[in-house]
Amino acid sequence: MGIISAPSAARAKTQWTATGSSSNPDAHSAGVEAASAALSGDEAKLLVVFSSETYDLPQLLAGIHEVAGDVPVIGCTTAGEIAAAGPGSAGVVAMAVGGPGFDVRTASASADAGLREASAEVAMSAARLESSPHRVLLVLSDGLGGDQQEVVRGAYSVLGAQVPLVGGCAGDGLKMKATWQFYGQRVLKNSIVGAAIGSQGPIGIGVEHGWRAVGDPMVVTASEGNRVLALDDQPALSAYLKRLGAPLAVHDDADAFTHFAMTHPLGLSRRGGDEVRFVAGADFADGSLNCIAAVPQGSMVRIMEGDSRSVLEATNVACENALSGLRGRAPLGVLAFDCIARKGVLGDEGIVAEVERIATYAAGAPVAGFYTYGEFARTHGLNGFHNQTLVVVAFA
């Protein structure tokens, strides 16, 4: 029998959030349990679901639908789940928002024609919101679907700077094979799902990574999108491994390389600071590195490093910045999108400490989220895709 967490809920006069989770090994039962706990209030407007990819996903969504009925559902698979009770790796976590103070529109789009086009289509949902003083577009994308900065560009082409963008890239428990997105009862692949959320209360967003650049910079002398072909005129893979003094095991073993690279990202030098790029894999045949977002040819990169202290300090900063956006109000609910690489740095004890910090900042309000393959947080300007970062979204 799986573990069912005690439901967590917070309510204001006109709006509420609530969460539920389950680690029941039976997919249908897990869906029923998580949705039942989350959908504890009247006039539910949205249910967001984060689930291990090990479940029978159609059965999971069938169980959720049994409880949710016509409540809109979006979600995705994960590299681990986050709830106020602690982190998990083989369960399902759900957050519901409801009450007349929330207004929600959902959409999904296939990325077969491109991530930018799909994101623009999903972003149109925000245009259908009734007038709300506070809005945010929540998107969940295929974490292995290409240059994720295109998701930001697509949303921006529709919404401009008026509506902030938040969310994360779906995972598959670090298998790096396929991720899945949920829309209603449908299990999708190579897609983007989203929810435009309008709120009568403020919405705060915080983002911080906790990594620092070390060593001399390298020039990206050849790249194609999110594939880095050469660094300093050397095959990218060999230059990367040599710079790190990597153990022999990661030179020709895909799984070993993924776990090693998870804690050794690239820092892409930008005017406003380093943008972190998750090195998701390598092609041992052509010597290239595969990143989650584009690394332009001619750019300068450095190896990034972090430790438990710097990562947990970043957790504090992200939470504080999210809460500062609530204008003195208490949080009603918190969503957390945390990169799987930060989980790799923190280890089992560290991720428990991190989630405890998030829950402490939430001050008893419901918390839900997942470990991602990349994070979205565009609050100003065009850039808004992040790697190895924690994004915290607080509702009041």
Tally Cβ neighbours within 10 Å of residue 383.
15
Q: Which of 268, 302, 392, 289 is closest to 339 using CA atoms? A: 392
Burial class of residue 309, CB neighbours in 10 A (0-12, 13-18, 19+) = exposed
Give the model's pLDDT for residue 107.
Answer: 97
Domain ranges of the chain: 8-208+310-395, 219-305
Tally Cβ neighbours within 10 Å of residue 3.
12
Q: Which of 62, 77, 193 is closest to 125 using CA atoms? A: 193
Say how far apart CA 104 and CA 347 lie, in whole Å.
36
Tell me the pLDDT of the chain (396 aa) as tens digits. Answer: 455 555 678 887 899 999 999 999 999 999 999 999 999 999 999 999 999 999 999 999 999 999 999 999 999 999 999 999 999 999 999 999 999 999 999 999 999 999 999 999 999 987 777 678 999 999 999 989 989 999 999 999 999 888 999 999 999 998 999 999 999 999 999 999 999 999 999 999 999 988 888 889 999 999 998 999 999 999 999 999 999 999 999 999 999 999 899 889 999 887 766 788 889 899 999 999 999 888 999 999 999 888 889 999 999 999 999 999 999 999 999 999 999 888 888 989 999 999 999 999 999 999 999 999 999 999 876 678 887 789 999 999
Give the model's pLDDT for residue 1.
Answer: 43
Say how far apart CA 121 and CA 88 lie, in whole Å.
32
Angle subtended at Cα 197 by Cα 371 and Cα 329, rounded to the nearest 5 degrees: 85
At residue 84, φ and ψ (nearest 5 deg) are: -55, -30
Give the model's pLDDT for residue 382.
Answer: 66
Q: Which two tokens stand for residue 369?
A: 């989220």
Q: How much of the chain is helix, strand and coil, in % rounded to 5?
A: 30, 40, 35
Give the model's pLDDT for residue 206.
Answer: 96
Say how far apart CA 32 and CA 62 lie, in whole Å.
8
Say how far apart CA 237 and CA 157 lie, in whole Å.
35
Q: Distance of CA 97 to CAs 21, 152, 187, 342, Å?
A: 15, 24, 22, 28
Tally Cβ neighbours within 10 Å of residue 286.
11
Q: Which two tokens stand for residue 140?
A: 């969940």
